[in-house]
Chain A
Amino acid sequence: MKLATKSSLNFLSVALFTFLFGIIAFYYTLRFQVDKFINNELNIAKVAFFEKSDNLSSLEGTYLGACQLMPLKSVANLNDTLVHFQDTLILNPQTKKLLPYRQMTFVISTKHSAFEVKIIRPLEETDRLIINLFLFMTLLVILLILILLIINQYSSHQLWKDFYISLDKINKFNLDTQTEIDLPETEIKEFEDLNTVLCLMSKRIASDYSRMKEYTENASHEIQTPLAIINAKLEMLLQCKELPEKQYQIIADASEASDRLARLNKTLILLTRIENRQFPEMETIFPQEIIERQLENYEEIIQSKRIRLSTSFEPNVSIQMNPTLSEILFLNLIKNAIRHNIPNGLLILKLDEKGMEIANSGDILKVNSDLLFNRFYKSTKSSKSLGLGLAIVKKITELFQIEINYEYKENLHRIYLQFPPK
């Protein structure tokens, strides 16, 4: 839930609660005040009634201001001198409707008899007034809450705008291309603090990252020379005449291991260099040329594995890429498709304007295919391959916005490259 929505909801729940109680309290206060006013009026009418009370019978049914005197009723009890107020409904003889009245009841006594006096005051108008006032107030409060809600939403949207801009920038931050996050200035202190911290953090991460890359590259290069010495010494050792076969074997094993280490190191340097974007030159590359050249290079291997090769090229397909990396990209894909192929398997290559598909026969992957492009991923533990070929492919495709997908369909491992639109 968004912060603005959350705070609006909080506001709304409190506001509705207060509004409900407020409006009830308002109604009763109003009612009370009006009753007091009416009672007052009735009291005035009572005073007027006493002024004219010498001729009681002539007063019956007459009006005293807004009040009306009801017919007198003789009662026995003289002691009841209290004045009663009550709301009542009285039938209007003309309209045959029950109308609300406030009624004042008291007893007066003459020399020989006692009468109950009822003075009534119509409430129709005041009731209408109360209802109108009540409705008006309700409307006003609802309107106020709505306006506040809208203002709240709008202003929080405005307030958080800088935050969302920052968030977007952090989201798009790429260590390979940027050294720090460029965050906009903001008037809000909290966000300004956040941006400052983020900027500092990104700078530190970027500098750590570049130091680490530099270190990796330097270390790898430094390893090359001692490796060269080991290789050369072992090769010299192999040239010794009359070496017992057992020692030959030992040297050969050591030599194989150091060769493997050398290849691994070279490949890691290549990966680092791709990540460090040290292949800036761009050229128009014709993949068909490269693919055909490489297939020729592996011709004999393809034949001896009895791999059935099928290629289809749309003529003059080109792509903007670094020439070295394009060689490595197609080489690795082709090598991969040959290495993991089975005897009498298929190797299918399709190239068109949109992209390339390379497919080879082989058993289904035993491990998650999402890991296929990870470093040091190997389909089988025993495989002597380095497990870096497809990691390099992935890195290169990322660099040139080529989309790469893998699928296992109809007993074929299929890798699709989707070239970026021109």
Chain B
Amino acid sequence: MKILLIEDEVTLASSIEDYLVDEGHICENVGTFEVATEKIELYEYDCLIVDINLPDGSGLDLIRLAKKRKLESGIIIISARISLENRIEGLDIGADHYLTKPFHLAELNAHLKSINRRIHFSGSNQINYNEIRILPDERRVFVNNKELSLTRKEFELLVFFLANKNKVITKAGIAEHLWGDYMDTADSFDFIYTHIKNLRHKMMKTGSEDYIKTIYGVGYKFDVS
């Protein structure tokens, strides 16, 4: 995917860029409203990642501009502002997701993947990896064409892992993805362990490889190497 990252914090932008490039995306990074306006007007991107508070303007105006150009691109807002009005306004004018800083890169990546599916495979929304096939809209998972019966959280977990293949995902990152901001991580670590154990068990029973590796004390990794 071709992504335009509009973020004025250089160090944060570089981390995001590295993560996304590693995922195989082409990522351009701009730090000002002015340059971003120019880029949006001249080029086409699959996805815009927009920080709302830019030194010389509001990211919301950039979203309006992109929408005016009738760009098909997905839009993810990243903002330090937690306020609901910002979130509502952002989603109202056509953003797909709103992430409040600090966020996990894995979470951002998962959102990018879902935008990618929406843009490029509209109609036949599927996630395929080797023997695994997922129909996200219908919440169905097949391994070797045999359907798995997964709980909601197990399903979400698998989609999250497939979006972040070969990446170490922290337990906190998983907890936040599954239960949102307000779940205290300490409580949820045991539950993550249980969910992952069950998911692995169900997948391997239907003949899938054992992809999910435990990184002791840190988190988990969907290992495809």
- How far does the alpha carbon of A242 sit from the alpha carbon of B78 in the complex, in Å? 31
Q: Check A331 for interface membership: any CB of B closer than 8 A.
A: yes
Could you tell me if A259 and B9 are in contact, using CB atoms closer than 8 angstroms? no
Nearest to A304 among chain B residues (CB) is: B194
Nearest to B154 among chain A residues (CB) is: A300
- How far does the alpha carbon of A384 sit from the alpha carbon of B185 in the complex, in Å? 9
Given A229-B15, A273-B82, decide whether A256 and B153 contact each other with a Cβ distance below 8 A: no
Could you tell me if B102 and A224 are in contact, using CB atoms closer than 8 angstroms? yes
Given A229-B9, A385-B187, decide whether A300 and B151 contact each other with a Cβ distance below 8 A: yes
Q: Check B186 for interface membership: any CB of A closer than 8 A.
A: yes
Nearest to A245 among chain B residues (CB) is: B216
- How far does the alpha carbon of A296 sit from the alpha carbon of B179 in the complex, in Å? 11
Contact partner of B172 (CB less than 8 A), chosen from A251, A255, A297, A304, is A255
How many residue-residue contacts, CB under 8 A, span A and B?
Answer: 129
Could you tell me if A228 and B80 are in contact, using CB atoms closer than 8 angstroms? yes
Q: Check A36 for interface membership: any CB of B closer than 8 A.
A: no
Could you tell me if A236 and B105 are in contact, using CB atoms closer than 8 angstroms? yes
- How far does the alpha carbon of A115 sit from the alpha carbon of B152 in the complex, in Å? 140
Given the complex, which residues of A lie within 8 Å of B151, measured CB to CB? 299-300
The dominant DSSP class at the A interface is helix
Minimum CB–CB distance from B125 to chain A (whole Å) comes to 24
- How far does the alpha carbon of A255 sit from the alpha carbon of B216 in the complex, in Å? 14
Q: Check B106 for interface membership: any CB of A closer than 8 A.
A: yes
Q: Check A232 for interface membership: any CB of B closer than 8 A.
A: yes
Contact partner of A231 (CB less than 8 A), chosen from B9, B103, B195, B217, is B103
Given A228-B102, A300-B195, decide whether A332 and B217 contact each other with a Cβ distance below 8 A: no
Q: Check B83 for interface membership: any CB of A closer than 8 A.
A: yes
Residue among B101, B179, B181, B191 with most chain A CB within 10 A: B101
Given the complex, which residues of B lie within 8 Å of A245, measured CB to CB? 216
Nearest to A322 among chain B residues (CB) is: B84
Minimum CB–CB distance from A393 to chain B (whole Å) comes to 12
Nearest to A298 among chain B residues (CB) is: B179
- How far does the alpha carbon of A391 sit from the alpha carbon of B113 in the complex, in Å? 37
Contact partner of A235 (CB less than 8 A), chosen from B106, B185, B217, is B106
Q: Check B93 for interface membership: any CB of A closer than 8 A.
A: no
Could you tell me if A248 and B191 are in contact, using CB atoms closer than 8 angstroms? no
Minimum CB–CB distance from A306 to chain B (whole Å) comes to 12
Given the complex, which residues of A lie within 8 Å of B116, measured CB to CB? none
Tell me the A381-419 residues at the B interface (CB within 8 Å).
Answer: 383-386
**How many chain A residues touch B (Cβ–Cβ < 8 Å)?**
50
Could you tell me if B185 and A224 are in contact, using CB atoms closer than 8 angstroms? no
Q: Check B177 for interface membership: any CB of A closer than 8 A.
A: no
Contact partner of A221 (CB less than 8 A), chosen from B80, B84, B173, B190, is B80
Could you tell me if B170 and A235 are in contact, using CB atoms closer than 8 angstroms? yes
For B175-205 the 0/1 string (1 means CB < 8 A from A) is 0000101111111101100110000000000
Contact partner of A227 (CB less than 8 A), chosen from B101, B153, B181, is B101
Tell me the B85-103 residues at the A interface (CB within 8 Å).
Answer: 100-103
Q: Check B6 for interface membership: any CB of A closer than 8 A.
A: no
Given the complex, which residues of A lie within 8 Å of B9, measured CB to CB? 225, 228-229
Could you tell me if B182 and A259 are in contact, using CB atoms closer than 8 angstroms? no
Which stretch of B16-24, B28-36, B42-50, B56-64 is in the interface? Answer: B16-24
Residues of B within 8 A of A (CB): 9, 11-12, 15-16, 18-19, 22, 78, 80-84, 100-106, 151-153, 167-168, 170, 172-173, 179, 181-188, 190-191, 194-195, 215-219
Pick 16 A–B contacts, CB within 8 A, sort by A.
Answer: A221-B80, A225-B9, A229-B12, A229-B102, A232-B19, A235-B19, A249-B218, A255-B170, A259-B185, A266-B181, A273-B82, A278-B83, A279-B84, A298-B179, A339-B184, A385-B184
Q: What 3 A-B pairs are tightest by C-beta distance, nearest first?
A: A384-B186, A228-B102, A228-B101
Known: A252-B170, A269-B82. 4 other contacts (CB 8 A): A228-B103, A233-B11, A259-B185, A335-B182
